[in-house]
Structures are given as structure tokens and as C-alpha cells.
Amino acid sequence: MTSVLTNLFDGVAYGMLLFVLACGLAVTLGLMNFVNLAHGAFAMAGGYVCAVLVNQYGWPFFAGLPLAFIAPAVIGAVLERLLYRHLYTRSHLDQVLFSVGLVFMSVAAIDYIMGSSRIFINLPAALQGQFDVFGVGIGRYRLMLIVICGLLTAALQLVLARTRFGSRLRAAVDDPRAASGLGINVPQVFALTFAFGCGLAGLGGALSAEILGLDPYFPLKFMIYFLIVVTVGGSSSIIGPFLASLLLGIADVAGKYYVPKMGPFVIYTVMIVILIWRPHGLFGRAAR
């Protein structure tokens, strides 16, 4: 029983991490209708920024996390200004080809600058190891992930659902021409949203480095996971990808623990079953 609860806890922590990594894609794909398969490249950028600051320059881990958000957000804002905005009205195939090209460019750049070795971020002693609660092993780092990711999820939902910016974003997505007529600066809203999504990806990359590791192929290895989260959860809300992340995180950890030889197939089986049951995802809207 204790091993089941420990696996459940690890699965929830992994699911929370998947959501922070993928929620930026949920924003750009679900709210902006832009297929940005280079999302993992921004996550990798945030992870490497934090790793360099902490491992090479001796920054405290929690001091490196804000830079892991800011650096990809700035990169995303520049690329959105120079490149991405020209593809908003293009077909999804054009967007996929463009963003996949950026992925391979980022892989080559990181491999040249940082090398191909896998690296991890040095954690403070307070986040290492675990403690027992009624026989259940609670990893300190995973507990921190659940707390941080839970707060980020609540804040993101609040921003999108209850703030003026969230209402402007929804209006800009639903009818850009009408939104412009109401005085909403649609390009600015899209730019801020895209940069924010890139920043969230970078933060997720920094938080995931200790568990997943960092190497130049990070965007390629986890691209499918980001897509599964958004597809299973539905791209019309944040709640759907959040619940999908928890479900897939628990299923992935349980599969790798109980059936290690077939573990990688469990998450895809869950995806197929859910999409047969709900073709548009858990909270997706049918196309009109």
C-alpha cells in the first residue's frame, strides 16, 4: 500500500511538471491557434540558463528560476516580433514546418555551445532526499514541484479567467477584427501571450532538469509529451491540460514501475482510449 501511495505522489509531481512544461503550448495552440512545435526549445533554453547560473556561477537555485523564465520570454518576444507573427494566418502545416525547423536549429546550437553531455542542476541540500509520512516516501524536490506548479496553475487560471488581459486575449482570438475595433491592440496581446508561454516553458525546463536531465535533444524527446497533454486535455481551456497532465503523469510512473518492459506504452494507451471516448479531448470544443 505504501508503495502505491509513493508512486501516486511521484505521479502527481511528474504530472504537475508536465503541465508547467506544456501549458505554454496549451496557451499558444488553444488560445492563439498556433502550432508551435518549437515549444520544447524554449523549455530547454530556460533549463540551460538555470543550469549555467547555478552550476557554473554558484547562484542559488531559487535565484536562477526567475532568469529561467525571463530569458526564454525575451527570446520568445524577439522571435515573435521577427518571425512568428508572419505565420499566424498561415496553415498549420506551414506552422509545423517552421517550428520543427527551429527545433533542429536549437538542437544544433546547444550541441555546439554546451556539448552533447547530459547535465543536471545542483540542488541545495534542503531539496535533496526524502522523508516518510506514515510510511510513504515523500521526496523533498517533488513536494516542492507540486507546491510551485500548483500555485502557477491557480495563478494562470486566474489571469486567463478573471483579469482584463484574459478577456482581451479571448476577444482577440475569437474575432481579431472586432477586437481591434474595440480598441484592443491585438498584435501586442498576442506578443505578450506568446512571450509569457515561452517563459512558462523555460521555467518548466529549469524545474524538470533534475528529473529529466538536460541535453541538446530535449525538445525532440519531449515534444510528443507536450502534444499528448494538449490533445488529451483539449486545447480550449487550461483545466483540461492540467487534468490530462495529472492523469498521464500517474499513468506513466505507474506503468514504468509495475510493467517496466511495457511502461512507455501505457501513456499512449491512455491517450488512445481517451481520444476514442472524447475525440476533442477532455475539455475540448467540437469544431463548428
Q: Residues 183-239: pLDDT tens digits?
A: 888 888 888 988 998 999 999 999 988 888 899 999 998 888 888 888 888 766 678
| 3-state SS assignment for residue 183 | coil
pLDDT of residue 288: 40
| 3-state SS assignment for residue 48 | helix
Q: How far is CA 83 from its chain centroid?
A: 21
pLDDT of residue 66: 95
| 3-state SS assignment for residue 136 | strand
**Pairing status of strand 130-133 against strand 136-139:** antiparallel
Query: At a CB cut-off of 8 Å and minimum separation 6, what does 278 contact?
Result: 234, 284
The average confidence (pLDDT) of the chain is 85
For the packed helices 2-25 and 140-162, what is the interaxial angle rounded to 10 degrees?
A: 40
pLDDT surpassing 80 at residue 152: yes
| 3-state SS assignment for residue 176 | helix
- Per-residue cell: 231: 490533445
- Per-residue cell: 79: 522571435
Stretch 261-287: mean pLDDT: 75
Q: Residues 224-262: pLDDT tens digits?
A: 888 888 888 876 667 888 888 888 888 888 888 887 777
Query: At a CB cut-off of 8 Å and minimum separation 6, what does 258 contact?
Result: none
pLDDT of residue 75: 95
Give the dihedral sign, CA 108/222/35/27: negative
Query: Can you give the pTM of this predicted structure?
Result: 0.88
Instruction: Fill in the amino acid letter for 145.
Output: L
